Structures are given as C-alpha cells and as structure tokens.
C-alpha cells in the first residue's frame, strides 16, 4: 500500500502533517523507561541466555505471538528456508543479513535477473555533472546525519522508526519546495504492513508526464539507500546507524538537493528511494519492487548506496553487483567523476542490501559501498558504536561524495 503526495511548488505552506499522515499500524512504543532501558534489556539478555526472542516476548508481550509466524528467509548466499519472525532476531544476532521472501517466492523466482546485453551510453555530460558535484555541500551532510543519528535507533517496528522516516520526508519536502521553476518533482510516502514508511522522490522527464500512464511510459533510474538502523544484539538497544545506513541516506539526500538546485531535467524519470526495514529482510524494498512488477513499471537500472563513509587505513572504495555490464559501466562512471580510486569486489555470504530485491525482480541493480567487504568492513555497524565519532577518525564525509 502507498500514499501518494503530489508536491506543488504553488503550495509551500501546506502542513506536513496533512501531507504525511501517521501510520495506522500497531507501533511498538519505546518510551517506557522500565521495559526498554538499555540496562534493563542487558540484564534480561544475561538472564535468558542472551536469546533476543525470549527477551522480546517479555518486553513486548502484546506482540509476542508474531514471533512465531512463519517466514521464508534467505540468508544472502544460501537457499531460502522456512523459519519464523523470531528467527530474524537470532539471525541478526549472528551477524547475518537476509531477505524475507514470504508471499513473494513465486513472483521473484520467475523474474530472477540474468546478464543482459544492455547497451550503456557513452559518458557525455561531464561539464553538467561536474557543475552539480561542485554544488555538493559536506556541511549539509553533517547536519542531516546529525539529525538521523540523534534518534536512539531507527528500528522499523518502533515509533522512533516512524519519526525518523518523517524527518527524512520533511527534509525532502523542504528541498522540493525550494525547487526552481520548470523542475517537475513528486514526493511519495509508501506505507507497509509495519509502521515505518519508505520515502520516494521523483524527477519527471523534461518532456513532462507522458499520457496515458506516466508511471510506466519509460524506464526509470532508481537511486536508493535504506533509512532504518538496527542493533543486532537486540532491536531496542541503541543503534545510531551513522554508517549503516545513515551515510547512504544522506549521500543520496545531498545528491537530490544538488540536482534540484541545479534545475535537473532528465530525459527519463529518475527516482530517489529511502527504504524502510532493510534490516528486517529488505521488507520495504520488496514491497516496492513487487508493486513495480505487478504494474509493469520498467526500471532501466538501480544503484544502492549502503555504507559510504567508513575509511580504514589503505581503504579502496568498491562496487559489488549482480550484473557485470552494469557494474563495469558504473565503475567507469565513478572513475570519471570521483576523486577516490574505484575497484570491483564481491560480497561475502550473509551480506547484502536492497539492490538484491531489484535484481531478483529482473532489473539491472548494483551495490555501491565504501570498500572491499572482505578486507575493509566496518566493525562498528549494527552496534551502539556506529557513529561519526570514531577513535581513529575513520568516518569520512568526503568519502560519501
């Protein structure tokens, strides 16, 4: 399900509360100082064999039955198996990422992407792109990430996950409201069965909306990041998520702002997506990809920015992907415009991100990250220590650009 918000530059005064209605789903409130305090949860974990499922039954008894619901889960690099909602907590505690395919196994299986003979365009807009790059502002990224990491966590089933998504929506709305004349933009909240919504912004092509159905007329380009964060020990513990994936979130937010300010008018639709519930099994992205398949919305290519700011010594930024032609073209693009060296890499088993939903849906999709996942992996993600304040100054806003 989704709620569509058409943004009119003639109505900058419209209340965000009207444009962005609160989610109607059951929300796990995290303001109970007794049940959800960090010290109390840590004591419960110590008592109950460090089992997050046992502890979740105690601190969220009203929703405990959901922990037994069956889920078809695919740990990245392995076959999908039937498990439970509670098993998601145990998988995360093991440091494993996964995709929740429940209800979508047949839909995605039929569309699993294979290498296609895509003809990628030559790079010919260097001057225009470099002008946009010069408009990128690190101070904007610092401010935006400071706001995101100020949330105790951005857990997709919690009230804080809803509030952090609303903050992103309102920030995008602020950018859209200041767009120059002639830039055709839309902003959408995409609601899910869980509380946290995804946020989608779209540049319409220079030719305007195409009749009769502008949503499927041409292949769109999608630029994405995930907005939620997770503490893998237990979901209600602190998870500032500065790198995972606050960095990707503010990277594409700043790219969106710079393009709007530059008066960007693309030849085809370009969409920016901030996905909910990546840490829950790519749930937000799966819902959106499913709708695009059902309504035959075409995607020319998708790139996911997940963890773009951690720089250990001797690090090399890299791109990992499912489609080599897409990867090679993107690496050429990055080499043309980035001041950092670029290299290709593969993901290790148990690691992945939202691009995989688009790949399974049959669309070219790649994953852009800060370094080789095998040798330059950020050890602080999914903990309370995933912050911008690292002891060896390993967090770099310059890397994001």
Q: For residue 256, what is the domain's CATH number? A: 3.40.630.10
Q: Does residue 51 sit within a domain? A: yes
Q: Does residue 119 sit within a domain? A: no
pLDDT in tens, the chain (401 residues): 444 333 333 222 233 332 333 444 455 554 455 556 899 999 999 999 999 999 999 999 999 999 999 999 999 889 999 999 999 999 999 999 899 999 987 766 655 544 456 677 788 888 899 999 999 999 999 999 999 999 999 999 999 999 999 999 999 999 999 999 999 999 999 999 999 999 999 999 987 765 446 555 578 999 999 999 999 999 999 999 999 999 999 999 999 999 999 999 999 999 999 999 999 999 999 999 999 999 989 999 999 999 988 887 665 544 444 455 556 766 676 667 666 555 555 554 544 555 577 878 888 888 887 766 656 778 999 999 999 987 766 788 877 77
Q: What φ, ψ does residue 10 adopt, rounded to 5°?
A: -85, -5
Count structural domains, the chain: 2
Residues 365 and 300 in one domain: yes
Q: Which residue range(s) make up the domain with 85?
A: 32-102
Note whether 243 and 51 are within 8 A (CB): no
Residues 290 and 338 in one domain: yes
Quote the crossing angle between the two packed helices 159-177 and 248-261, to the nearest 10°. 20
Q: Does residue 110 sit within a domain? A: no
Residues 132 and 95 in one domain: no
Residues 60 and 133 in one domain: no
Which residue from 215, 247, 236, 217 is spatially nearest to 311, judged by alpha carbons? 247
Residues 93 and 226 in one domain: no
Residues 98 and 225 in one domain: no
Residues 238 and 153 in one domain: yes
Residues 59 and 165 in one domain: no
- Using the 3D structure, point to which of 102, 135, 151 is the last residue of a domain: 102
Residues 140 and 66 in one domain: no
Q: Does residue 12 sit within a domain? A: no
b/e 194-208 (16+ beta carbons within 10 angstroms → b)? bbbbbbbbbbbbeee
Q: Does residue 162 sit within a domain? A: yes
Note whether 148 and 167 are within 8 A (CB): yes
Q: Does residue 7 sit within a domain? A: no
Residues 142 and 94 in one domain: no
Q: Does residue 14 sit within a domain? A: no
Q: Does residue 49 sit within a domain? A: yes
The C-alpha angle 83, 88, 92, rounded to 5 degrees, equals 135
- Using the 3D structure, point to which of 102, 137, 158 is the last residue of a domain: 102
Residues 161 and 61 in one domain: no
């Amino acid at each position: 399900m989704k709620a569509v918000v058409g943004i009119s530059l003639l109505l900058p005064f419209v209340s965000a509360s009207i444009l962005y209605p609160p989610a109607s789903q059951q929300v796990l409130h995290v303001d109970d100082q007794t049940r959800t305090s960090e010290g109390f949860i840590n004591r419960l974990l110590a008592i109950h064999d460090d089992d997050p499922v046992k502890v979740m039954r105690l601190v969220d008894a009203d929703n405990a039955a959901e922990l037994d619901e069956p889920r078809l889960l695919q740990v990245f690099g392995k076959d999908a198996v039937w498990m439970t909602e509670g098993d998601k907590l145990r998988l995360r505690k093991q440091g494993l990422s996964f995709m929740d395919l429940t209800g979508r196994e047949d839909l995605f299986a039929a569309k699993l992407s294979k290498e296609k003979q895509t003809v990628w365009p030559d790079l010919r807009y260097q001057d225009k792109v470099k002008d946009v790059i010069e408009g990128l502002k690190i101070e904007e990224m610092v401010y935006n990430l400071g706001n995101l990491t100020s949330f105790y966590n951005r857990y997709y089933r919690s009230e804080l996950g809803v509030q952090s998504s609303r903050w992103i929506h309102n920030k995008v709305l602020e950018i859209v409201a200041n767009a120059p004349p002639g830039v055709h933009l839309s902003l959408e909240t995409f609601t899910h069965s869980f509380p946290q919504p995804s946020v989608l912004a779209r540049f319409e092509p220079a030719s305007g909306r195409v009749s009769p159905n502008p949503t499927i007329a041409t292949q769109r380009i999608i630029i994405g990041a995930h907005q939620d964060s997770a503490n893998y020990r237990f979901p209600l513990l602190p998870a500032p998520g500065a790198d995972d994936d606050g960095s990707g979130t503010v990277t594409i937010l700043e790219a969106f702002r710079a393009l709007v300010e530059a008066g960007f008018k693309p030849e085809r639709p370009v969409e920016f997506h901030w996905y909910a519930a990546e840490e829950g099994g790519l749930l937000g992205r799966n819902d959106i990809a499913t709708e695009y398949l059902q309504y035959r919305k075409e995607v020319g290519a998708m790139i996911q920015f997940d963890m773009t700011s951690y720089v250990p010594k001797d690090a090399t930024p890299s791109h990992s992907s499912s489609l080599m032609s897409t990867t090679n073209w993107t690496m050429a693009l990055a080499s043309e415009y980035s001041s950092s060296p670029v290299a290709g890499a593969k993901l290790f088993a148990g690691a992945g991100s939202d691009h995989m939903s688009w790949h399974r849906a049959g669309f070219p999709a790649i994953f852009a990250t800060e370094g080789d996942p095998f040798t330059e992996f950020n050890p602080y993600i999914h903990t309370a220590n995933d912050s911008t304040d690292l002891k060896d100054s390993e967090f770099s806003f310059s890397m994001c650009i």
